[in-house]
Amino acid sequence: MTTSYDYDVLVIGAGPGGYHAAIRAAQLGLKVACAEREAVGGVCLNVGCIPTKALLHAGEQIAAARHAADFGLTFGEQRLDIAKLNGWKDGIVKKLTGGVGSLFKANKVAHLQGQASFVDDHTVQVGDKTYTAGSIIIATGSDPAKLPGLDVDQVQIVDSTGALVMPDPVPARMLCVGGGVIGFEFAHVYNNMGSKVKVIEFLPSIIPGADADAVKEFQKSMKKQGIEIAVQTKANKAEKKQDGIHVELEDVKTGAKTTEVFDRVLVAVGRRPRTDGLNAQAAGVFVNERGFIPADSRQRTNVPHIYSVGDVASNPMLAHKAMKEGLVAAEVIAGKPAEQDAVAIPGVVYTSPELAWVGLTEQEAKDKGYEVKTGVFPLSASGRAMTLQQTDGFVKMVVEKDTDLLLGVHIVGPHASDLLGEAGLALEMAATASDIALTIHAHPTLGESVLEAAEAVHKQAIHIMNR
């Protein structure tokens, strides 16, 4: 593409959506720049997906060591080196963000460091310089939502960024305000590290959007591990005192208020799109009342040559959704017939057991008018799960009764996120439960549980009593 602009494509934001867009556009022969005010990799690589998974892994190793005596392996007293833990986690982040920088160089993507702000619909100021581009992709991501009464200081009262820095000593008492994905992942980390953890959720159920049966099983496992859970509960205010953080909790049903004391409080009540400093109005770009910059299925905003991807475009705020949207935007700009038309977007809580789902929940399917059948295979009947000492959970399959069409898959168990790929592909290909049941799965694997759930739809699972 030959233009009179400095770049064919200028991407604002180098998170998952942004760097995928920039690299794909460059692969397709376009001249590309990517502006980032912080570190490349965005929230996900720097203070989100990757460092949380590192801490989750470390915590799970601690938990696994506690049960190793079951098969004859014993250790001395556990000792946690907090400085080394934080250093190891930060080293992974550095390696991955450095990798993105190397990919930019390899693909000849110009990295522009600084706050990007629109001057007009083809011009962006980055730092003290201005650049023009034929097409612009907004991929600015999101920030943690704030909660009145709980002022984040990133030491005692933290958001997801502050919670990544494990204090020494580990806090004895931890409150997680918000029973969603972020709240429970950090609850799991701190619980395994030795904190006494309580999670509160304003809504009647934790993990909004997940299947009710899967949530029930997940909650049972979290409680079994020692995490206290209170739904329909809110935190009104917090006061720091010598003996800890005094938090006023309120039962939203009765209005009853109590005060509990904690050593650290995590505020995890969602995220909000990041548009501060963008000056979108200078380009005529529409920002809605919730702060999102909406886009169509080809990721175009109301200004046709300006695109929006990832968290800033719409919910759900997930890195893998942003990645796909970034690729779509780049390919559309390059003249390809691309579109964001995914049948379903997977969701995962990376605890142990994991909770993962793709497609419709049983209730959502019924609400859409489907007559459904379900098949459930418990991991307590899985030989592989037994060898892993992780038998909590199940695989649940939701299908249309008359056609056998797969509508959704919901998994609670070890490596649920890895098992979900098969389900996602099946949904995209309009597969049936029978298609999955007819597919030979390796033995012994956790993947066999997906096959058994498909068989259970037809009351033909081998390793359980079919009812």
User: Was 317 annotated as part of a binding site?
Assistant: yes
User: Was 291 annotated as part of a binding site?
Assistant: no
**What values do phi and psi take at 161, rounded to 5?**
-70, -50
User: Was 76 annotated as part of a binding site?
Assistant: no
User: Was 185 annotated as part of a binding site?
Assistant: yes
The arrangement of strands across the sheet holding 244-251 comes to 233-241, 244-251, 257-262
**Alpha carbons 461 and 263: distance in angstroms, whole number:** 48
User: Was 310 annotated as part of a binding site?
Assistant: no
| Candidates 246, 443, 458, 463; catalytic one | 443
Annotation marks residue 67 as catalytic: no
User: Was 140 annotated as part of a binding site?
Assistant: yes
Pair of tokens at residue 52: 């949380």
User: Was 244 annotated as part of a binding site?
Assistant: no
User: Was 39 annotated as part of a binding site?
Assistant: no
User: Was 463 annotated as part of a binding site?
Assistant: no
User: Was 465 annotated as part of a binding site?
Assistant: no
Report the relative pairing of strands 372-378 and 173-177 from DSSP bridges.
unpaired
User: Was 178 annotated as part of a binding site?
Assistant: yes
User: Was 80 annotated as part of a binding site?
Assistant: no
User: Was 201 annotated as part of a binding site?
Assistant: yes
Q: Residues comprising the binding site?
A: 53, 140-142, 178-185, 201, 270, 311, 317-320
- Catalytic residue numbers read 443
Q: Residues comprising the binding site for NAD(+)?
A: 178-185, 201, 270
Q: Residues comprising the binding site for FAD?
A: 53, 140-142, 311, 317-320
